[in-house]
Amino acid sequence: MFDGWKAPSIMQVPDAKDIAVEFFTLPKRYHMAS
């Protein structure tokens, strides 16, 4: 669908775990209504 392109994660940045917060929810990932 997107030619194999995957969106980067803020957690890939060195030392980002000390300052960043990443949210993941199933409804968005699987296009579920909530």
Model pLDDT, residue 32: 56
Question: What proportions of the chain, in percent to the nearest 5, are helix, strand and coil?
Answer: 30, 0, 70
Model pLDDT, residue 6: 78
Number of domains in the chain: 1
33: confidence class by pLDDT, cuts 50, 70, 90: low
Range of the domain at 16: 1-34
User: Which two tokens mark 8?
Assistant: 């980067």
User: Which two tokens mark 34?
Assistant: 């909530």
Model pLDDT, residue 19: 80
Distance separating alpha carbons of residues 27 and 4, to the nearest angstrom: 22
Model pLDDT, residue 25: 62
Instruction: Summarize pLDDT for 5-32 with one digit per residue, the tens.
Output: 777 777 788 887 788 877 766 565 556 5
